[in-house]
Each structure stands twice: as structure tokens, then as C-alpha cells.
Amino acid sequence: MTRGCRIVRWTVALFATLCCALSTAEAQSAKQYRIAWLVSTPSSVPSMKAAIASFQAELRKFGYVEGKNLTVTYKFADQGIDALGAHAKELAATKPDLILTDSSFAALAAKGATTRVPILMAVSAAPVQQGLAASLAKPGGNITGMTLMAPQTAEKRLELLKLAVPRIKRV
């Protein structure tokens, strides 16, 4: 499984968790959910088709089907990263239920476009340092998501490594 597909699965799991806050009756009603997906790579990248297909398949597992109870609007960085700000404003203007981002670049663009629409970032290396969250424990604002390489967790990772490999001398 590629890294992109794993991130898609994590993102869908996060989205599904947010949706589970709704009652089962509401989730099965005729409500049309709207997701705006701000993608920091061009649509021509070969892995994007696989990522979108994986995203759609994972959502179907939770009962969300594009064209039935879900609309997804995709905006890609076909004109480069600099276009993300304009794309984010365009997407926010449609008042989606959620803006999904695939990177810190896209999350920052979405943050600049809205403070009302929830933003779900698939992954960010350092959300606190990048201004996406006030802290890991209490992010604040309208952004949530995952971080894999937060500097605050480096000490804990070394501690866990030392527990797993007690004789380790150098990392």
C-alpha cells in the first residue's frame, strides 16, 4: 500500500469519526453532505486517481456515496502551490460541511479562507509551529487532523525506543 493510500484511509477514518457524531437516522436520511478536498498536488499525478478511488471506497464502507448522499468537490494544485489560496477561498464560498486537506500547504490555505468550516488535514509535520494549531493537546480553531513528526513527541519516541531496545547506545 502506498503512503498516499494509507493517508487516505486515515483521513477517511477521521471523517467517519466526525460523521459518527451524527445520529444513525440522520446519517441515513436524504441529507447531502458536501466535502471540499483541497489537494496540494496536480491532478495529473498518477497516484491521485488511486487515492481518490481509495477515498471513495472507504467512504462507501461507512454508507457515504458520491452522487447519493455525498458531494465531493476537488481542487488540485494544477497551477502550483501558489494557487491553493484562491482554490481554498473558492471552496469555502460554497459552504461545505468539511474541507479536507492533504498537506500543511493546503491546510494553511484553507485556514486563510475560513474560520467557520471545519478543516480536516490528513497530515502535518509540525502543526503548532506552522500555526495550524495552538497546541497538540488543545488545537483550538476549526482545524483538526494528524501529525506524524511533531517535535514535541521526539523525546517520547526516544524513550520508547530505549524501552524496546535497552542496550541501544546511539540513535
Distance, CA of 62 to chain centre: 17
Q: Is 137 helix (H, G, I), strand (E, B) or coil?
A: coil
- pTM score, two decimals? 0.74
Lookup: cell for 123: 497530515
Mean pLDDT for the stretch of residues 14-37: 64
pLDDT at 147: 79
pLDDT at 154: 77
Quickly tell me which residue has 465531493 as its cell: 72
Quickly tell me which residue has 468539511 as its cell: 98
Q: What residues are paired with 34 via a beta bridge?
A: 71
CA separation, residue 3 to residues 28, 35, 76, 105, 126 (Å)? 31, 22, 18, 18, 18
Percent of the chain at pLDDT exceeding 70: 81
